Each structure stands twice: as structure tokens, then as C-alpha cells.
Amino acid sequence: MQQEQETAGKSNSSGLWIFGYGSLCWHPGFEFDKSFIGYVRGFSRKFWQGNTTHRGTEKQPGRVATLVEDKESIVWGRAFEVRGEAALPYLDTRECQLGGYHVQLTSFFPHKLAHRLDSDSTSGPQPTSFPALFYVATPSNRLWLGDAPLTEIASQIVECSGPSGHNVEYLLRLAGFMHEYLPEAVDEHLFTLEFLVRSRIKEQNLCLKTLMGDSLMPASPPATPPHELEDADENNAIGGDPAVRPDSFQFTSRVPPKKLRCLNI
């Protein structure tokens, strides 16, 4: 019976899937039929890619997320089953031509305790895993900024903005997505940057509402900064899963009405 359910689940996910781990989590920008939260293996999420077209400028590049190989880690995000033929050209422009990313293929594992994020279809078995395309930057692209002390990365994020909005919005909306859908998820890099950026906003008496584009605030941050979990096992099981801890384009995103309708994007 279990094997039949897994087979049925995989057959329901035979379409083209895109895995998002950055702004795609909260602003896909393309039509899609289904969406799951979940993870990919063998990578870590880092704010090591520069951006001059969305969250920064040529003179002052912003910092956005990419994935770097890390055999012992997982990255949580969101997978979309795309609809129609417009998604790939749109993503090629948004991610590759303007963002400096290229396409790779990996296996996506849906969260076993979570419902699909699309609100109009919850019936049928949930797939155990399926192939998904994702966009990743490498050190060979001209926008690569690479590793730096988190304090420096946080300061850069606070100082940068571009045609799609402030760099702070990008970071806090991603962190807010994680807090809302994966409140137990472990992402020390992301959550430490969130804490440092919020601290700088408070220290400099900046207007968070303005930085966020005058729209809804993301989820509240932790009261204290994350600490390095040297003895923590990030692969502890929770329900069978590893431990979980507006742009300038003219495309309409299909935002799930119950969860993301008030993002005002």
C-alpha cells in the first residue's frame, strides 16, 4: 500500500517544478498550479551573490541569496509546478540575464507535516520527492561578491536598494516566510543576518515601513541572535523530515490567498 501511494504521489508531480529559496518563496512572479514547502539536500543558503538590477545598483550592489555546495546541509524553500509557457522565459530574464544565475536540477523533498501552499487542491497523496529546477550563482559570474563577515553583509544590505525595492525587504521577507511556514527551521546564516539588520535599523533610527515598501511587516524576529549550534544535529527527524528551524517585471503572480494575499506585491 505504501509503495502504491508513493508511486501515485510521484505521478502527480510529473510536471515542471521550480525550487525557490530566495525571493521566489514570497514573490514567484509566474503562474503555477501547485506549490509545496520542503527542502533540497547538499546545499547551504548564503547571501553571497551581488545584485545590481533588483536590490542594488552598479555603484552599490545589494546582497541576495544563492546556494553553495554543502554535503551535510539542507535548504528549505518552496517548489512550484509551473503553468503555461511563460514561466521559463520570465525566470530566464529575472534570474539568469539580470541576476547572474544559471539552472541546475536537484531532488525536492516536500515537508511531510505541511499542506500544499496552493489553496484550491489538497486531495491526493503527497509525493515523497521529485526533480526540480533551481537557479544558482557561482563565483564565475560578474556579480559574485562571495563570503564576508556577517556584520559587513548586514551593513551592505541596510545601505542598498534598487528598482525592485530595498535590500532589507528582500532579506526580511525571506526570513518572514521561514518564520511563518517553517518556525523550527535552522538557517543560522539567514537568521543571524536578520538579527543584525534589524539591530542596525533600530540603531540608525530608520523607518522599517519605508524600507519594506510601506507594506505589511514580516513575522517578528527572535528576541536574541541565533547562536552557532556546534552540537546540534540538523538532520534530527520531525515527522520524517530533517530538523526544521516587488519586482520590476510586469508578470502577475498567483499568490495563495489565505497566506500571502496581504503582502501587497
Task: Indicate which residues carry an active-site annotation.
Answer: 95
Whether the CB-CB separation of 157 and 200 falls below 8 Å is answered with: no
Angle (CA) 71 23 114, round 5°: 70
Beta bridge partners of 46: 66
Residues 6+ apart with CB under 8 A from 80: 17, 18, 20, 24, 28, 30, 32, 34, 35
Neighbours of 46 (CB within 10 A): 20
- 3-class DSSP state of 115: coil
Choose among 70, 61, 78: nearest CA to 22.
78
Q: Which of 66, 79, 101, 110 shows the shortest CA–CA distance to 16?
A: 79
Contact between residue 59 and residue 170 where contact means Cβ atoms under 8 Å apart: no
> What letter represents residue 46's amino acid?
K
- Take residue 146 and report the three cell numbers written for it: 562571495
Contact 234, 182 (CB under 8 A): no
Q: Are 261 and 118 in contact (CB under 8 A)?
A: no
SS3 178: helix
Question: 189: which 3 cell numbers?
Answer: 546564516
